[in-house]
Chain A
Amino acid sequence: MSENSALLQITDLMVFYENALAIKNLSLKCSQGLISGAFGSNSAGKTTLMLAISGIIAYYQKQEKMKGGERITWHGEISFDGDQIINLEPSKRAKLGIILCPERRRIFAESSTLENLKIGGYQATKKQSKKTMHYVFNIFPELDRLKNRGGGFLSGGEQQMLAIGRALMAQPRLLLLDEPLLGLAPLVEKRLAKAVKEINEELGLTMLISEQYAKPIVPVVDYCYVLENGGIIFEGTKDDFKKNPDVMDAYFGGM
């Protein structure tokens, strides 16, 4: 395993929702060109982690502040390609190339597949847009066939493909996938896992994938973190992961 440099380095991250600690002293690293995985059950903090890295948590902080709700605060360090970004706005982080593919897809239901992809390419140049769209239709031929279908009429798997495609259109350097396999059938899970690996290999794109049920995605992940109650309880390569019986029990389950 070659020593890739860390594209994303999180050190001692803490996120508070009022007085509840959602993320506790979390340190994590995404190495350049590798796929990292963050696994954990429902309230382990996976989505909060994704929101913190992408900066979208600042949006929720503002929303809560305006309506006098919970006070959301965060502390610690997040460095991306050497720059400290913890206080950087989400839009600027997106410009740097940190792109989030949110939980439950959140594609634009009233827009067609093609429009969704075009929207994703908002900050890309025309040339980049064209090239990426071509690539997306290559990886996901289903989307080509569904070009003009309204987003709301796509099945879960197709929506996830579209969400990934839309994220790719934003020219990411770090792609964050928050529970991409949620609610999908086994066949579709395999398809997506395979596609994710292809994208990583062909584009050299660094990725961080969070999942609750690790089995379908572990084959493509290079380095794994296991989260529980906001902290990391285990980290290692996928072989280390498989060798640890407790972890296997909790996150692989039966099937």
Chain B
Amino acid sequence: MGETIERKKRIDRGVKVRSDSIYAVSSIQELAFLAAPRLGLIFGLLLLPILVPGLYWQRVVCLFGIYALLAVALDFMASYTGLNCLGMAFFVGTGGYFSGMLNAAFNVPLMVSIPVATLLGALFCTLAFLPTLPLRGVYFAVISFMYPLMSERIIAATGAFGGTEGIAGLSILPNIWFSQYLIVVVLLFCIFALRRLVNEDIGLVFRGLKDNDQTIRASGMNITYYKAIVVFITALMGCFAGAYLSHLYGWVGLSLLAMDFSIFPLAAMIIGGPGTIAGPVIGAIILVPVSELMRVFSGLRILFYSIVIIFFILFWSEGLLNWARKKYEQFEFLVKV
């Protein structure tokens, strides 16, 4: 009794409070506070191709772009709408095979085959997932995980679409600069578009699907329909990633259905910060170079991703972006109780 007890108090920074209102537009300081993270992201990504040393790392930028796109798509699907998808590889494989087939069998130029494969692939994936949509949480995750595995087995067994050899000799993207900027621009577009979408009216309906589907149903809306739209949007991104990848290397094969494409986005999302759309990009930018450097231990990469996922879930489940945002927007100090 009588000793001063202290506690850590955390409140918003002054600049954050001021920039939350409409008056932010009248002050340079507040505008800078708001714009800095966004501009940092945009310029950071746009400058990335120029800053990396050499062709090898430029190819890594392309890979980073793909994984980041998948992670962003997964964040939208899982964190915002509650559809925990462990089968992103299915989207990648679909997009890749569609584009590969159009290009190889029908000689469609890649500038056409990529967008067409994206669209058709997304439709196909949505239809494929349709029966699974009533499933919740864990069951949906398990079934979605199985889809790419099943597809892999079917293609290998029937020898269709090139079987285990794959289809080689596809058109390759013109040059490395085009490749990098294509994926970076698409990535930036998707990040900002999704962030905008989740705050739109329909975005709130999607977010309601997560924990509150009884309200959506009680409002007269068919949740399967809205879930299908979410899958379609996610599939557009996933299939694009697959189509892009097939023309990056000029071939498509079973490796486009690899578990890597399902697990890596999950790890990137968890490290970077689920529920932020932009967070997974941070996760990807850390994981991609690290996993490149770990190329020697090829098989152990999945083990590495798993350990990282477990560590972050146990000790840092808010993720890096959420943690950084708190530091940016708030500050702590000791105060007497």
Contact = CB atoms under 8 A, between A and B. Distances in A.
B318 interface: yes
B337 A19 contact: no
Interface in A50-77: 66-68, 71, 73, 75
Contacts of B153: none
Interface residues of A, number: 12
A68 B5 contact: no
Contacts of B315: 66
Contacts of A11: 1
Contacts of A16: 7
B182 interface: no
Nearest to B7: A73
A67 B337 contact: no
A66 B317 contact: yes
Interface in A5-39: 11-12, 14, 16, 18-19
Given A14-B337, A75-B337, A68 B8 contact: no
Contact of B317 (A14, A18, A67): A67
B9 interface: yes
Nearest to A73: B7
B10 A19 contact: yes
B281 to A, nearest CB: 19
B294 interface: no
Given A14-B337, A75-B337, A68 B7 contact: no
A68 B337 contact: no
A73 B6 CA distance: 11
Given A14-B337, A75-B337, A68 B323 contact: yes
B318 A75 contact: no
A27 B318 CA distance: 36
A49 to B, nearest CB: 18
Nearest to A66: B317
A128 B5 CA distance: 42
Given A66-B317, A67-B317, A75-B337, A19 B8 contact: no
B326 A68 contact: yes
A221 to B, nearest CB: 29
Given A14-B337, A66-B315, A66-B317, A71 B10 contact: yes
Given A14-B337, A75-B337, A67 B10 contact: no
B211 to A, nearest CB: 15
Contact of A75 (B5, B11, B314): B5
Contacts of B10: 18-19, 71
Contacts of A18: 10
13 contacts: A14-B337, A18-B10, A19-B11, A66-B314, A66-B317, A67-B317, A68-B318, A68-B323, A68-B326, A71-B10, A73-B7, A73-B8, A75-B337
Interface of B: 1, 5, 7-11, 314-315, 317-318, 322-323, 326, 337
In the A-B complex, list the 5 residue pairs whose CB atoms are closest, starting with the nearest. Answer: A68-B318, A75-B5, A67-B317, A73-B7, A75-B337
